[in-house]
């Protein structure tokens, strides 16, 4: 068998590689490469493939650690300033406990230097130490439930047990605590079981724990619906989405958050079907989102996220030194800065002056988008400005509207961390339970106070009269 001829080892010129990486490759450069020997072109394509792989690995705070080649990840930037409060700032420490369970009085030992007796000195000082006792035990309570027969109704009755859900072997506190550890803090199911079985000596299987969480979600579903209604009727609503695995398929986890409410739902679609399940009608407030076009179908008034737009500018700035592009980028950044300054100066200006300056900002933005740009990235972003020129400056017009969608990104981040730990949901029912309980715990956390106690008291009320009380809106009142 005749061996194939060796592939030439001609390397790509540095100028060609630089143009390829920066996106400024010319037709003449491409034509020059295409005229080479076919075997040589094979070798050059392999070089290009390697170059593309390096570009894919390069840069960016959003590049996952697993995508960096070994040893190539840059060292973290030095802190710009020393962490912590500035000198002279009032310190923060743990508050003293309201209750002292026991008092230990210590006796003076002999003098450590001469072994003599120590005379009485200043008044004794006090030090309070809080600790968890080693003999911490779960309380097992046996309930003796009498049964009575009514001759008139021909029925048997017995008193309700307020300490647990029907037929449950774990009390409210244990159920709420485990659900909060998993859906509120992101602790995995196996870790929750380890805490119960190891530290508290309450053996339970993963199936038993998951089943009680499903039941808890069913009882608390009215709260979930209340949170959805709070978001639907909010004057300002933030929306974001991220990928989620459900039963082995690629789904999407959506997050809607407003002042005092955060609502999650998991859906197969990243499009209008998912938003249709959330919005019963067109949203009447201001919707703050990124530039995903599907949001345009559910709200008339929007605020698009400026950091997303500025991030696009930064990425192009890093690779393009074109004079036209730099002019476009500079003008757009200046409009954003002027919008922030105008919003801050609103109270110092008359309404007429403020309105005229807002109109001038809108006109500058629209003019920038309608300009005939030859740079491809400038043309691309100019189209975005023409499409969203009204939705980019609502943060100036409305006091409560921010210029960014950071709120939704902050609220969706706990779900992202849970996704890394749990790899998503194993079933549709599990995804639904996660949506319900995660929404409830994130919302209650926004209201402060004792989340576990509020949930436990609600379960007791549900057992007593079969109806869940309204979602608590001020947990600090009973704290």
Domain of residue 424, CATH code:
3.30.420
Kindly tell me if the per-residue pLDDT of 178 is higher than 50. yes
Extract the tokens encoding 55: 């570009």
Domain stop point among 331, 365, 397: 397
Residue with tokens 């922030």: 340
If asked whether residues 378 and 420 sit together in one domain, one would say no
Kindly tell me if the per-residue pLDDT of 4 is higher than 60. no
Q: Which region among 5-14, 355-364, 468-477 has the lowest average model confidence (pLDDT)? A: 5-14
Contact 268, 252 (CB under 8 A): yes
Extract the tokens encoding 380: 């691309």
Compute the distance between CA of residue 183 and CA of residue 431 in angstroms, rounded to an integer: 11
If asked whether residues 298 and 313 sit together in one domain, one would say no
Residue with tokens 């097992």: 140
If asked whether residues 409 and 283 sit together in one domain, one would say yes
Question: Is the residue at 340 inside a domain?
Answer: yes
Domain stop point among 372, 397, 422: 397
Kindly tell me if the per-residue pLDDT of 429 is higher than 90. yes
If asked whether residues 267 and 416 sit together in one domain, one would say yes
DSSP assignments along 399-438, one per residue: TT--SS-HHHHHHHHHHHHHHHHH-SBSSHHHHHHHHHHH
Average pLDDT value for residue range 99-126:
85
Contact 220, 436 (CB under 8 A): yes
Question: Is the residue at 88 inside a domain?
Answer: no
Classify burial at 105, counting beta carbons within 10 Å of its beta carbon; exposed 0-12, middle 13-18, buried 19 or more.
exposed
Compute the distance between CA of residue 408 and CA of residue 387 in angstroms, rounded to an integer: 23
DSSP assignments along 106-164, one per residue: --PPPPTTT-PPPPP-SPPP--------TT--PPP-------EEETTTTEEE----TTS
pLDDT score at 478: 40
If asked whether residues 370 and 319 sit together in one domain, one would say yes
Side-chain-side CA neighbours of 96 within 13 Å: the count stands at 7
Alpha helices (H) in 58-112, listed in sequence order:
none
Contact 69, 38 (CB under 8 A): no
If asked whether residues 255 and 293 sit together in one domain, one would say yes
pLDDT score at 26: 77
How large is the angle between the packed helices 451-465 and 172-179, nearest 10 degrees? 130
Nearest to 210 by CA among 247, 183, 239: 183
Extract the tokens encoding 399: 């006091």
Compute the distance between CA of residue 213 and CA of residue 205 in angstroms, rounded to an integer: 13
If asked whether residues 388 and 252 sit together in one domain, one would say no
Q: How confident is the model at residue 54 (pLDDT cuts 50, 70, 90)?
A: low
pLDDT, the chain, mean: 84
Kindly tell me if the per-residue pLDDT of 397 is higher than 70. yes
pLDDT score at 195: 86
pLDDT score at 1: 47
Question: Is the residue at 136 inside a domain?
Answer: no
Report residue 79: phi and psi, to 5°. Answer: -65, 135
Side-chain-side CA neighbours of 342 within 13 Å: the count stands at 25
Q: How confident is the model at residue 315 (pLDDT cuts 50, 70, 90)?
A: confident
If asked whether residues 365 and 229 sit together in one domain, one would say no
If asked whether residues 258 and 371 sit together in one domain, one would say no
- Which domain does 383 fall in, by range? 306-397
Kindly tell me if the per-residue pLDDT of 358 is higher than 80. yes
Residues 6+ positions from 196 with CB-CB distance below 8 Å: 174, 178, 202, 203, 204, 209
Q: Which region among 43-47, 225-229, 250-254, 461-465 has the lowest average model confidence (pLDDT)? A: 43-47
Question: Is the residue at 469 inside a domain?
Answer: no
Each residue of 269-278: pLDDT tens digit? 988 899 988 9
Kindly tell me if the per-residue pLDDT of 3 is higher than 60. no
Q: Please tell me which residue, 384 or 48, carries the higher pLDDT value.
A: 384
If asked whether residues 360 and 280 sit together in one domain, one would say no
If asked whether residues 278 and 325 sit together in one domain, one would say no
Compute the distance between CA of residue 288 and CA of residue 305 in angstroms, rounded to an integer: 7
Helix (H) or strand (E) holding 31: helix 27-34
Strand 249-258 relative to strand 236-246, pairing: antiparallel
Question: Is the residue at 354 inside a domain?
Answer: yes
Nearest to 437 by CA among 193, 207, 262: 262
Question: Is the residue at 419 inside a domain?
Answer: yes
DSSP assignments along 241-274, one per residue: EEEEEETTEEEEEEEEEETTEEEEEEES-SSHHH
Domain count, the chain: 2
Extract the tokens encoding 410: 């902050």
Strand 236-246 relative to strand 283-289, pairing: parallel
Q: How confident is the model at residue 106 (pLDDT cuts 50, 70, 90)?
A: confident
Residue with tokens 């792989």: 53
Average pLDDT value for residue range 183-207:
87
Handedness of CA 167, 173, 178, 184 (dihedral sign): positive
If asked whether residues 295 and 323 sit together in one domain, one would say no
Question: Is the residue at 336 inside a domain?
Answer: yes
CA angle 196, 198, 203 (to 5 degrees): 50
Radius of gyration of the chain (CA): 32
Question: Is the residue at 52 inside a domain?
Answer: no
Average pLDDT value for residue range 289-302:
90
């Amino acid at each position: 068998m005749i061996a194939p001829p060796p592939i030439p080892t001609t390397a790509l010129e540095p100028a060609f590689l630089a143009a390829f990486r920066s996106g400024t490759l010319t037709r003449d450069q491409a034509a020059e490469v295409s005229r080479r020997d076919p075997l040589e072109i094979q070798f050059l394509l392999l070089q290009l493939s390697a170059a593309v792989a390096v570009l894919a690995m390069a840069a960016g705070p959003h590049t996952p650690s697993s995508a960096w080649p070994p040893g190539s990840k840059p060292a973290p930037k030095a802190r710009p300033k020393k962490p912590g409060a500035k000198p002279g700032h009032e310190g923060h420490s743990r508050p003293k406990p309201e209750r002292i369970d026991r008092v230990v009085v210590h006796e003076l030992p002999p003098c450590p230097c001469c072994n003599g007796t120590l005379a009485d000195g200043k008044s004794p000082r006090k030090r309070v130490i809080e600790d968890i006792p080693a003999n911490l035990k779960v309380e097992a309570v046996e309930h003796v439930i009498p049964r009575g027969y009514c001759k008139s109704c021909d029925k048997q009755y017995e008193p309700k047990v307020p300490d647990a859900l029907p037929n449950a072997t774990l009390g409210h506190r244990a159920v709420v605590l485990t659900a909060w550890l998993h859906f509120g803090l992101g602790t995995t199911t196996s870790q929750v079981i380890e805490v119960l079985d190891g530290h508290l000596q309450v053996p339970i299987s993963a199936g038993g724990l998951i089943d009680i969480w499903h039941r808890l979600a069913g009882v608390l579903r009215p709260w979930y619906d209340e949170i959805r209604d709070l978001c639907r009727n909010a004057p300002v609503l933030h929306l974001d989405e991220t990928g989620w695995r459900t039963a082995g398929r690629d789904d999407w986890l959506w997050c809607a958050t407003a002042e005092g409410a955060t609502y999650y739902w998991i859906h197969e679609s990243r499009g209008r079907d998912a938003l249709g399940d959330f919005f019963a009608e067109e949203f009447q407030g201001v919707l703050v989102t990124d530039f995903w076009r599907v949001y345009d179908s559910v709200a008339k008034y929007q605020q698009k996220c400026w950091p997303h737009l500025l991030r696009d500018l930064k990425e192009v700035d890093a690779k393009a030194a074109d004079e036209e592009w730099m002019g476009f980028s500079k003008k757009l950044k200046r409009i954003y800065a002027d919008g922030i300054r105008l919003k801050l100066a609103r109270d110092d200006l008359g309404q007429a002056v403020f309105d005229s300056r807002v109109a001038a900002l809108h006109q500058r933005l629209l003019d920038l988008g309608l300009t005939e740009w030859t740079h491809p990235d400038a043309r691309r972003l100019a189209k975005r400005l023409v499409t969203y020129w009204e939705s980019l400056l609502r943060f100036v017009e409305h006091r409560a509207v921010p210029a960014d969608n950071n709120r939704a990104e902050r609220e969706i981040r706990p779900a992202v961390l849970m996704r890394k730990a749990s790899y998503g949901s194993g079933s549709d029912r599990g995804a639904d339970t996660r949506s319900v309980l995660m929404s409830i715990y994130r919302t209650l956390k926004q209201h402060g106070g004792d989340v576990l106690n509020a949930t436990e008291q609600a379960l007791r009320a549900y057992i007593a009269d079969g109806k869940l009380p309204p979602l608590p809106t001020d947990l600090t009142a009973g704290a």
